[in-house]
Chains A and B, each alone.
Chain A
């Protein structure tokens, strides 16, 4: 599997998990489906960018940094659309991007 598709997959899975954690917050539990969908899309996109970067640059620290930055940027976009929850969305979102960045750097294409 290529790095971009692997990034999409890993970012998407992490996004689903990240979205599902909102179940623990009763205030937003009613919007769980929408949050999971948005989070999955956000994770997959961050993973795709991280995978694209990993195809060009072979560096784990830089990969993590790029994933972190893209995750942070996308999470900011989502938070801005929500008009709030900046801290609650951006911090975990950036870490999901960082994990995707790490995973795409380590992934060996077959």
Chain B
């Protein structure tokens, strides 16, 4: 009689792809998504570990190979397995998925800087005519040194409901603004847990997730530029400031200098009063 444990092992082994025709040696499964399964493998020729993604068609590898950017995982090689499925070998990213990163990083500016770095490869892809269509925290990796890599570029049209633009959900034509919508939803996720969301950031989220594509940011770069402006205490395009907002931004931007000048003035007044006794 075969025990459940042995049966489970046999089942897992049967599901593993046959890499015999490739130069890679399979180690284990490391991820699974709607588009395919990712395995850890070893490249004995170069003595390094790689990630191998096995999927039903080779579109994703071709899309990835056409996009050379530090924020997009580089493809080493692509091919077809003996069972007819496609595979491609890519750089193994050591780090955390964005959702795990967010769970451990509470400092808002750090989160926003990572968000900016997510926008860069997305904007690069848009400039090359590629729309991601399934941006979500689970498809972003944050490396050991804070580098950000956007993954899963092969989604032919299906997205994730919580991050999908209305026009994509309706099955219509999508362009870069569908990714802007998903980025806006990701920004909302990043702001979750904040006791008070700053008004400019709330406006950025609103502008990015407008139901009408024409009302959104025209691209990921414009969205990133607004985040950069917010981090630099500059006016944000999506937010019309009141005089009080402007004053608060000025105080926030120059708080150290204002504190020093206030300390000086307080000290001077004390000294004048002291000497005038």
- A→B interface (CB under 8 Å): 18, 21, 24-28, 60, 64, 87-88, 91-92, 95-96, 98-99, 102-103, 106
CB distance from A88 to the nearest CB of B (A): 5
- Choose from B257, B274, B276 the contact partner of A26 (Cβ within 8 Å): B276
A95–B272 touching, CB < 8 Å: no
A25–B256 touching, CB < 8 Å: no
Q: Give 9 closest A-B pairs by Cβ, nearest first.
A: A95-B264, A25-B275, A24-B272, A88-B271, A91-B267, A99-B260, A92-B267, A21-B268, A98-B260
B261 within 8 A of A: yes
B275–A99 touching, CB < 8 Å: no
B274–A88 touching, CB < 8 Å: yes
CA distance A27 to B274 in the complex (A): 12
Known contacts being A95-B264, A96-B264, A102-B260, is A21 close to B276, with CB within 8 Å? no
B271–A99 touching, CB < 8 Å: no
Known contacts being A91-B267, A95-B267, is A21 close to B272, with CB within 8 Å? yes
B234 within 8 A of A: no
Which residues of chain B have C-beta atoms less than 8 A from A27's C-beta? 275
User: Which chain B residue shows the least CB distance to A61?
Assistant: B256
CA distance A106 to B233 in the complex (A): 15
CB distance from A18 to the nearest CB of B (A): 8
| Interchain Cβ contacts under 8 Å between A and B, 19 examples | A21-B272, A24-B272, A25-B271, A25-B272, A25-B276, A26-B276, A60-B256, A87-B274, A88-B274, A91-B267, A91-B271, A92-B267, A95-B263, A95-B264, A96-B264, A99-B260, A99-B261, A99-B264, A102-B256
Within 8 A of A (CB), among B67-92: none
A64–B274 touching, CB < 8 Å: no
CA distance A21 to B264 in the complex (A): 11
User: Which chain B residue shows the least CB distance to A23?
Assistant: B272
Which residues of chain A have C-beta atoms less than 8 A from B276's C-beta? 24-26
CA distance A4 to B274 in the complex (A): 35
Known: A25-B272, A88-B271, A95-B260. 7 other contacts (CB 8 A): A18-B268, A25-B275, A87-B271, A88-B274, A91-B271, A95-B264, A102-B260
CB distance from B176 to the nearest CB of A (A): 34
CA distance A92 to B271 in the complex (A): 9
Which residues of chain A have C-beta atoms less than 8 A from B268's C-beta? 18, 21, 92
User: Which chain A residue shows the least CB distance to B264?
Assistant: A95
CB distance from B193 to the nearest CB of A (A): 28
Interface string of B239-269 (1 = CB under 8 A from A): 0000000000000000011001101100110
Known contacts being A60-B256, A102-B256, A102-B257, is A92 close to B264, with CB within 8 Å? yes
CB distance from A13 to the nearest CB of B (A): 13
Which residues of chain B have C-beta atoms less than 8 A from A92's C-beta? 264, 267-268, 271
Which residues of chain A have C-beta atoms less than 8 A from B260's C-beta? 64, 95, 98-99, 102
Interface centre among B264, B268, B274, B276 (most CB of A within 10 A): B264
CB distance from A87 to the nearest CB of B (A): 7
